[in-house]
Amino acid sequence: MNWVEILRTAGASLVAHRLRSALTVLGILIGIAAVVLSVGLGLGSQQQVGAQISALGSNLLIVTPGSSTSTAGIRGGFGSASTLTVSDATALANRVAAPDIAAVAPEKDSSQTLAAGSTNWTTSVIGTTDSWLGVRSRTLADGDFFTATDVENASAVTVLGSATATELFGTTNAVGQTVTINSQPFTVVGVLASAGSNSTSNLDDEAVMPITALANDIAGGSTRNSVSTIYLKAASQQTLSAAYQEADALLLNLHRLSGSANADFTISSQNALLATVTSVSKTLTVLLAGIAALSLLVGGIGVMNIMLVSVTERTREIGLRKAIGAPPTAIRRQFLAEAIALGLTGGLLGALLGILGARLLPTLLSTTTPVIVSAPVVIGAVAVSMIIGLIFGVYPATRAARMAPIDALRTE
């Protein structure tokens, strides 16, 4: 008996029991659709988070001060909480000492109340240099960013986040207006384009100004030279690790420290953050897919159940087929083919439903997270559905093949 005849026979008997076949297929269909969707959702959120993180600035290294006090208490005391200084940033910007660091932007933060006319608004004021815009991958919606000359001269100018500008000036153009911070007037020279928010802060609610102006007019005193973060930009993804080495060596030397073990700063990269978030979302994907796979298993048991019912119900047919010369292998193949056909049909329809669902789901849940349906996942899911048919079909098919022809014929 060749495969054409086996498939024809299997097809005929599945069609003969349409409703039962359809319900069995439904079990597999739901399982496969669930797998395709959950994996797609996982991949989608992974991609989305990845995109959000790289939007914060690509090829970025972030230097933050280490703990202010060691366990021995030796380095505790005055100014120890701010181990990073403006001169550190200047040193890092030296293209000879650190050739792989393309740009440097120190940040000094201070929470201040901004006043404009009768309105006021409390936000985070960031003191930095003119390279900030490029290092943080930001763009301007209006006006200009402050220049190197502004930093040198500690000019009383500021660039506002889009939300901050709206809070203070409403629909009026903010550029050219004056805001008062710590009783000092600052001229608004630009407004940043919206960048959304990351996990910790609203990137649209801030006021950026020359670090010198912040030190002189607002956050002076003993900590005037300290900075809270230094952002380093490597020339490319490939030079990121070289840039890391250079920054580490340079800062250890500047701080007169013998090795990384007692460093009073931390250098982290977007990659590390990306890896963490990716691994979290991978775990989630695996969990979701696991639940979906469980439903697939239930679908598989459904196939087995129906095949067992079918074998019992068709005992006489099996007996007759054997009487007219069907060998055990032909009977086994016939029932296996039926089980595989059930699985495969469920798999194909499930994949189709998954692909359709992937398009509709974001709209239905009104999220921006895309559901990514990739070819390997679809092909894999369909293959799995076939294998499920095969695995859960083996036992019923073997049972049918082993029936003694005479007992099968005699069954009522």
Partner 1 sequence: MTAPSTTAGLPRTATPATRPVIELRDVTKTYSSGSAAEVQALKGLSLSVGTGEYVAVVGASGSGKSTLMHIIGCLDTATSGTYLLAGENVGSLDEADLAEIRNERIGFVFQQFFLLASLTAWRNVELPLIYAGVPRRERQARTLAALERVGLADRVNHKPAQLSGGQQQRAAIARALVTEPDLILADEPTGNLDSSATEDILTLFDELIGQGSTVVVITHEAEVAARAHRTVRIKDGLIVPRHGDGGVTHMVGLTR
Residues that bind partner 1 (CB under 8 A): 1-2, 5, 12-13, 16, 316-317, 320-330, 404-406, 409
Choose between 13 and 281: whose C-beta lies nearer to partner 1: 13
Closest approach of partner 1 to the CB of residue 335, in Å: 15
CA distances from residue 29 to 21, 299, 347, 349, 382 in whole angstroms, order as listed: 12, 8, 6, 6, 10
Q: Which is nearer to partner 1, 282 or 410 (CB)?
A: 410
**Which CB, 9 or 285, lies closer to partner 1?**
9
Cβ of residue 4: shortest distance to partner 1, in angstroms? 9
CB of 313 to partner 1, least distance (A): 12
Distance set, CA 123 to CA 15, 168, 214, 288 (Å): 70, 11, 14, 40
Residue 138 or 332 having the CB closest to partner 1: 332
Residue type, 200: T
The smaller minimum CB distance to partner 1, of residues 362 and 405, is found at: 405
Burial class (CB in 10 A: 0-12, 13-18, 19+), 352: middle
CB of 402 to partner 1, least distance (A): 9
Q: Which residues contact 166 (CB under 8 A, 6 or more apart)?
A: none
Cβ contact 210:146 at 8 Å: yes
Closest approach, Cβ 3 to partner 1, in A, equals: 12
Q: How many helices (H) and strands (E) does the chain have?
A: 13, 10
Distance, in Å, from the CA atom of 216 to the CA atom of 287, rounded to the nearest integer, reads 53
CB-CB contact of 215 with 156 (8 Å): no
Of 50 and 405, CB closest to partner 1: 405
Q: How far is the CB of 326 from partner 1 (least distance, A)?
A: 5
> Which tokens is 94 given?
């030296």
Give CA–CA dist 33/46, Å, rounded.
Answer: 20
